[in-house]
Amino acid sequence: MGQSGLQWDPADYVSVDRLNQKDIFTGTATQIDAIKTTYAGMRVYCTQAGGINNLEADVLYIRNSQNTAWIKIARMNQEANPKQVTFSSPDSLDWTDPVSVTVSSGGSETVVCNPNAPDNYYSMSANYNQREAERITDTSLRNKALVSVKWYLAKGGSPTGNVECRIRKVSDDSIVATATNPIAASSLSESSYTRHTFNFPANTLTPNEDCRIAVEYPSGDASNYIKVGVHTGSGNTYAGGHREGYSGAWNITDTSHDFNIEIIFGSGANIKDNNTSTKWTSLNEANPWAYVEVASTSKPTGAIRVFWGNSNETPTNYKVQHSNNASSWTDLLTRNVKPPSNQWTTYEFNIVDCRYVRVLAQETLAMSIYEVDIYKQEAAQALADHSHALLT
């Protein structure tokens, strides 16, 4: 059966008990070639190069999903400290979403509901509709990160108070998010439209249903009101939505017109939307990064997993790092090989007490990440499992 302990050796055979006991086989390339029984996901650490598979020394390999070849996943450089502990290897139930996501750049998407300049307006005040909205019916815009919305606004008379912009669910009219920068009604022009950009809090997601992106002004009267610009001419209507109005209830559905608004979606939140078909993509820049918030305060963390896309949007050289303040970062792992395409890659490391974990590319590219999950075990569980380090 081989020697006792946590590493595999050439005399071992694969069994359920042995799989539960062992973590990794360590041996020369020749010894690795001699393993009679392998399995998908099995890890081996090569101490001496050679063999029929031309394995490299000081490299960690994993068996591919077809159990036909060894895939290089890391070159060892003292990343694991044997005096520390790691969590037991995660299974499918051990993952949870990060609290929030922050990205290095871009990846924004703009939806223009009507590209024409306003030629008319709808009045908004306590005496008219108190809200005007573009109802979004395009299902592809659900669960997306909303960055900002641009509205054409003007005033009539001398309105006071603020104009707010909000996202509301259609199902129950509940507020999903409110823009952080309302505009003072008195600051608007009476003779021309001002295009005001309403910015939403970081990581604001549209709901998983139809929503209304609304401007709201419940103050004023028939002489002091807000003008919401609209183009009433034919053509250039938006297929993914339409105008709706509110006066005590949403009682106006105007499918023939759209407001002259731009909706800017950022894709950073796609990293935590539980959808491996959506992604965040950085600008084509040097050293793009994305970091996730593990918890609202520092907590023991021992692994993350990343769903990567195609090889042309994944880095060859990158790091996994941790931080407690999102400004000073400490390396956890260094990788010099592209991760497998279109699948999850798990990154295990010695337990650290941290609030943030970052993936940092060390090259220039437009990097894409589809999802990041956090290992949700607690330190007490790790200590109960075992007190040794995985060579990852």
Q: pLDDT tens, 195-236?
A: 999 999 866 878 989 999 999 999 999 999 999 999 887 666
Cα–chain-centroid distance for residue 61? Answer: 28
Global pTM reads 0.52
191, two tokens? 């003779």
pLDDT band at 137 (very low <50, low <70, confident <90, very high): very high
* pLDDT for the residue numbered 167: 98
* pLDDT for the residue numbered 74: 65
Q: What is the pLDDT of residues 306-332, one digit of tens each?
A: 999 999 999 999 999 999 988 899 999
* pLDDT for the residue numbered 359: 97
Residue type, 9: D
53, two tokens? 């598979």
- The verdict on residue 332 lying in a domain is yes
- The verdict on residue 2 lying in a domain is no
Mean pLDDT calculated for residue range 368-376: 91
Mean pLDDT calculated for residue range 109-119: 86
* pLDDT for the residue numbered 193: 94
Structural domain for 251, as ranges: 109-265
* pLDDT for the residue numbered 268: 77
What is the CB neighbour count within 10 angstroms for residue 28? 17
Q: In terms of pLDDT, which residue wins out, 272 or 392?
A: 272
* pLDDT for the residue numbered 89: 56
Q: In terms of pLDDT, which residue wins out, 6 or 161?
A: 161
Residues 29 and 173 in one domain: no
What b/e sequence results for 358-371 when a residue is b if at least 16 CB atoms lie within 10 Å of its CB, and e otherwise? Answer: bbbbeeebbbbbbb
DSSP states of 280-337 = EE--SEES-EEEEE--SS-EEEEEEEEEE--GGGS-SSEEEEEESSSSS-EEEEEE-S
Cα–chain-centroid distance for residue 94? Answer: 18
- Of 241, 265, 289, the one marking the end of a domain is 265
- The verdict on residue 243 lying in a domain is yes
Report the alpha-carbon distance of residue 232 to residue 120 in Å, rounded. 7
- The verdict on residue 372 lying in a domain is yes
Q: For residue 306, what is the domain's CATH number?
A: 2.60.120.260
- Percent of the chain, pLDDT > 70? 82
Residues 177 and 102 in one domain: no
Residues 47 and 144 in one domain: no
Specify the DSSP element, H or E, that contains 381.
Answer: helix 379-385
Q: Write the CA distances from 63 to 69, 90, 335, 374, integer angstroms.
A: 6, 17, 17, 23
Residues 198 and 155 in one domain: yes
Specify the DSSP element, H or E, that contains 81.
Answer: none
Mean pLDDT calculated for residue range 346-350: 88
Report the alpha-carbon distance of residue 283 to residue 105 in Å, rounded. 6
Residues forming a β-bridge with 43: 62
- The verdict on residue 164 lying in a domain is yes
Residues 115 and 261 in one domain: yes
Q: Find which of 56-60, 91-95, 149-153 is predicted with most confidence, using mean pLDDT.
A: 149-153
* pLDDT for the residue numbered 92: 62
Alpha helices in 14-82 (DSSP H): 16-21, 29-33
Number of domains in the chain: 3
- Of 265, 294, 329, the one marking the end of a domain is 265
